[in-house]
Structure 1
Amino acid sequence: MSLPTPPATSTLDPRALLRDMFQAAVARVQPRRCIAPHLPAQPPVGRTVVIGAGKGSAAMAQALEEALDAAWGPAYAASGRLSGTVVTRYGYAVPCRHLRIIEAAHPVPDDASLAAAQALQATVAGLSADDLVIALISGGGSSLLVAPGPGLTLADKQAVNRALLASGATISEMNCVRRHLSAIKGGRLAAACAPARVLTLVVSDVPGDRPVDIASGPTVGDASTTADARAILARYGLLATLPPAVAALLDRPEAESVPPGDPRLAGHAVRLIATPQQALEAAAEVARAAGVTPVILGDSLEGEARDVGQVLAAIARQAATRGQPLTGPCVLLSGGETTVTFRPPADGSAPDWGRGGRNVECLLAAALALDGQPGVWGLMADTDGVDGVEEVAGAFLTPDTLTRAWALGRPPRQSLDRHDGHGFFGALGDALVTGPTMTNVNDFRALLVMP
């Protein structure tokens, strides 16, 4: 059978191709496609208790129910031996027949986040060695599942989250701090399941795919220490600005996480079921089918969003003008998680921040660096459908982005300085709004170079 001939690149719609690549990336990491291969062939002697936290956890729970019916037969769930509780972001709930779904806030926790943690702790109380716990973990769980450590309040945890989000700290650094200020993260939830066996199924949203960094590892042993958490807060100048109870807790032994060798974690298994690399490979397949050569630059690019945008723009410009590292038509794909640091104005005036997120910040910086370079289009978005705190996934870049912005009275550099990426691209009609995607494998970035 012959393969279809790719369309001529002169007839391609760059925006449509970029959207198709993003949609393929998100589709590849949907829980329904990923869960079944990782389940036990036979049910446990006792009960199956499901717990979970993250933006994709409700969709994972729904897919799990379907997969268990297929693997173990519908009579198992109907017997009452399948139950559990899962927390997801507001608007991300989907119906389940046997599992309870709770919604809470992201990226800053709220009262529902606190109630969700208490519900999950109650769900795993009193288990036996005959029981199986299936933990469904995806990005966003750090905020959605909150149990303040001894001496801390919800307000303290909210202050820590806000400070970390504005500090420029990496996701690994932020989650190290969160684990040591929690009564449920850093393996503590898994320890509470003892003596039951725990199978953790993870959708990765972090560079490097380290399970302990995904949702701050509630069911994964943690080798970091309180000294590491304290050093991170000191590195970003946060120790003196956070509530005093934070530093006080980090001086107490109760703040240490559950280490990987703890006997309560014996027999536990952790499996990555969906990753950023898989999403990028799916996007690359779409590009090839369209006659465009894909280059995956990496699935774990980190750094200040505007700096990453400048570097990616420089690579795209080199491809467009010099045919290096390859000639167009080509697309430069990358994933990972950048950061945005909010720095007060040098003149001491009150900051006038706009509406932004790390992907639109990265894209706006790329637009400025490209300066209208002909033949370069782009799309940068969060695979969960939410960039920052806006219900906007990301945005598109075109060769005339800056020209159109100036015509509308939107100075691009001023918008970048105000972290106003959503305001900027929204005014141009270039925002990408997807609604909840029911998964989360972090940032998706594509710069398309056309001859």
Structure 2
Amino acid sequence: MVELDPRAFLTSLFETAVRAADTLEAIRAHLPAKPRGRTIVIGAGKAASQMAASFEKLWDGDYEGVVVARHGPVEKTERIRVLQSAHPVPDAAGLVGSQALLDAVSGLSADDLVIALISGGGSALLPAPPEGLTLDDEIAVNKALLASGAPISAMNTVRKHVSRIKGGRLARAAYPARVVSLVVSDVPGDNPAYVASGPTVPDAGTAEEALRIVADYRMALPDAVMAHLRSEAAAAPKPDDAAFARNEVHVIASARVSLEAAAAEAKRQGVEAVILSDQIEGEARDIGKMHAALAREVALRDRPFARPVVILSGGETTVTITDVYGKGGRNSEFLLSFALDIEGVEGIDALAADTDGIDGSEDNAGAFADGGSAARIRKAASDPRSFLARHDAWSAFDAAGDLFVPGPTGTNVNDFRAILIRQLIRRAAAAHLPH
């Protein structure tokens, strides 16, 4: 193996994964034919402005539209309006954005075409509380979901039953126009109905399922929300609704494609690559321990994979928030747990990052870790386990100088994890694995 700079190598894999989700090429391959009537572009998500700008470079007919992106830098567009709202907790600007999308698709004919540009993050960006509920109610729901530890599919099942726009309702509002949804997936399994809570893609989930999820994860929701979920008004349109008969849905970018691209790049650089899965879910710190056990086994026993190797995985882990919490996101929490469990083992280097460039509440995508990370955190600040206990992984990696800050990427295919195992170091074996 050619000697590598581990962090430069891992960064190159992340950048390759992000390029594989490039919106321009992804949209180019899935553009529909021009309609006899009008073309209306709508969209929402962390990649909304980038998708809109890509569409404008490719479409040579007439069009108009509006998309909703998160607050922060956005791509410049010519004719598609870009509105902005808050993520991960909704704000009043999101109400304006949701109404703008509903207005954009109202009064259309069967000759018109709606192109929906959907990416992850749209659930928070599009608050639209149903009659009898308020923005504060939807914020309370969102906060409870984020703190619950529920997988994204469960969270979005609840969200789409407490909304006027999610769960296919935006597409139904466009009827009788045809809706073509181009989806950048950030959910394990790539079910487009779960991306951004499916504003243009219905599914068969029910309000009864939403209530079971609330109970199973012991969420404390406002009384008005619980009353709504028990009412007929919570029912979402079903996939066999006639309003969706002519619609099309295309997943144009996903974690699977990005991980495969990263694996190919690793092999080009002379390192064998293994993709564990693009659908890993679970508590971030537990998934971190599982990855650490695998990395140690390879580093110390050369099994189940031979060194040198990079282990890749994706999906969406969760963090169950307690009463005490600090700064960070699921990728940095995963990596802090991982770093603690590989402490003292040389030859392991890892990067965990969100492909949208932002992990949680701060400006980092994630962080780097190796066998010396825990010691660096301990020397620079305090016991890394105390940071993990209070969900403050950002502060731990910031103290150690190990944050990964590429900036917003303009796409979002969820978590990216890459673990490079370079060599066997025997002296740490006794401390970590039984003989």
Name the TM-score, length of structure 1 as normaliser: 0.92
Per the TM alignment, residue 98 of structure 1 is displaced from its structure 2 partner at its CA by 1.2
* Aligned mate of 2:379, from 390, 403, 407: 407
1:92, 1:103 within 8 Å by CA — same for their partners in 2? no
Question: Whole-Å Cα distance in 1 between the matches of residues 191 and 250 of structure 2?
Answer: 11
Per the TM alignment, residue 92 of structure 1 is displaced from its structure 2 partner at its CA by 4.2
1:3 aligns with none
Structure 1 residue 356 and structure 2 residue 328: aligned? Answer: yes
Determine helix, strand or coil for the equivalent of 1:445. strand
1:372, 1:401 within 8 Å by CA — same for their partners in 2? no
Per the TM alignment, residue 142 of structure 1 is displaced from its structure 2 partner at its CA by 0.3
* Aligned mate of 1:26, from 2, 18, 32: 18
Structure 1 residue 253 and structure 2 residue 244: aligned? Answer: no
Query: How has the CA–CA distance of structure 1 residues 224 and 92 changed in structure 2, closer, same or farther, with 3 Å as cutoff?
Result: farther
* Aligned mate of 1:39, from 15, 31, 41: 31
1:137, 1:201 within 8 Å by CA — same for their partners in 2? yes
1:150, 1:249 within 8 Å by CA — same for their partners in 2? no
2:46 aligns with 55
Per the TM alignment, residue 306 of structure 1 is displaced from its structure 2 partner at its CA by 0.3
1:161 aligns with 142
* Aligned mate of 1:434, from 398, 406, 410: 406
**Map of 1:339-350 to 2, 5 A cutoff?**
339-344=318-323
Determine helix, strand or coil for the equivalent of 2:278. strand
**Map of 1:22-171 to 2, 5 A cutoff?**
22-40=14-32, 42-69=33-60, 76-77=61-62, 82-171=63-152
Determine helix, strand or coil for the equivalent of 1:299. coil
Question: Whole-Å Cα distance in 2 between the matches of residues 428 and 405 of structure 1?
Answer: 5
Deviations 1:374-409 (A, max 9, x none): 100000000011111212100001221122122213
* Aligned mate of 2:346, from 370, 374, 378: 374
Question: Whole-Å Cα distance in 2 between the matches of residues 198 and 132 of structure 1?
Answer: 6
1:318, 1:325 within 8 Å by CA — same for their partners in 2? yes
Question: Whole-Å Cα distance in 1 between the matches of residues 301 and 406 of structure 2?
Answer: 35
1:55, 1:92 within 8 Å by CA — same for their partners in 2? no
2:222 aligns with 243
Paired residue type of 2:92: D
Per the TM alignment, residue 410 of structure 1 is displaced from its structure 2 partner at its CA by 2.3
Name the TM-score, length of structure 2 as normaliser: 0.96
2:426 aligns with none
Paired residue type of 1:216: S
Paired residue type of 1:122: D
Question: Whole-Å Cα distance in 2 between the matches of residues 416 and 30 of structure 1?
Answer: 34
Paired residue type of 2:382: R
1:383, 1:441 within 8 Å by CA — same for their partners in 2? yes
1:302 aligns with 281
Paired residue type of 1:245: A
Question: Whole-Å Cα distance in 2 between the matches of residues 150 and 373 of structure 1?
Answer: 57
Determine helix, strand or coil for the equivalent of 1:306. helix
Paired residue type of 2:51: M
2:343, 2:370 within 8 Å by CA — same for their partners in 1? no
Deviations 1:247-296 (A, max 9, x none): 11012112111100001111100000000011111111121111111000
**Aligned-CA RMSD value:** 1.0
Question: Whole-Å Cα distance in 2 between the matches of residues 92 and 110 of structure 1?
Answer: 18
* Count of aligned pairs between the two proteins: 423
**Map of 1:164-243 to 2, 5 A cutoff?**
164-238=145-219, 241-243=220-222
Paired residue type of 1:449: I
Structure 1 residue 14 and structure 2 residue 6: aligned? Answer: yes
1:44, 1:130 within 8 Å by CA — same for their partners in 2? yes
Paired residue type of 2:27: I
Structure 1 residue 286 and structure 2 residue 265: aligned? Answer: yes
Question: Whole-Å Cα distance in 1 between the matches of residues 130 and 211 of structure 2?
Answer: 15
Question: Whole-Å Cα distance in 1 between the matches of residues 179 and 131 of structure 2?
Answer: 26
1:265 aligns with 244
* Aligned mate of 1:314, from 286, 290, 293: 293
Question: Whole-Å Cα distance in 2 between the matches of residues 243 and 407 of structure 1?
Answer: 44
2:428 aligns with none
1:280, 1:335 within 8 Å by CA — same for their partners in 2? yes
Question: Whole-Å Cα distance in 1 between the matches of residues 301 and 140 of structure 2?
Answer: 48
Deviations 1:19-77 (A, max 9, x none): 0000110111010121011112x3110010001000011101111111113xxxxxx23
Determine helix, strand or coil for the equivalent of 2:74. coil
* Aligned mate of 1:333, from 312, 323, 326: 312
Per the TM alignment, residue 343 of structure 1 is displaced from its structure 2 partner at its CA by 2.8
1:56, 1:92 within 8 Å by CA — same for their partners in 2? no
Per the TM alignment, residue 150 of structure 1 is displaced from its structure 2 partner at its CA by 2.0
Q: Percent identity?
A: 53
Question: Whole-Å Cα distance in 2 between the matches of residues 92 and 46 of structure 1?
Answer: 33
Per the TM alignment, residue 12 of structure 1 is displaced from its structure 2 partner at its CA by 0.7
2:203, 2:238 within 8 Å by CA — same for their partners in 1? yes
2:274, 2:309 within 8 Å by CA — same for their partners in 1? yes
| Structure 1 stretches of 4+ moved >4 Å | none
1:93, 1:102 within 8 Å by CA — same for their partners in 2? no
2:381, 2:399 within 8 Å by CA — same for their partners in 1? no
Question: Whole-Å Cα distance in 1 between the matches of residues 295 and 76 of structure 2?
Answer: 43
Question: Whole-Å Cα distance in 2 between the matches of residues 315 and 208 of structure 1?
Answer: 23
2:422 aligns with 450
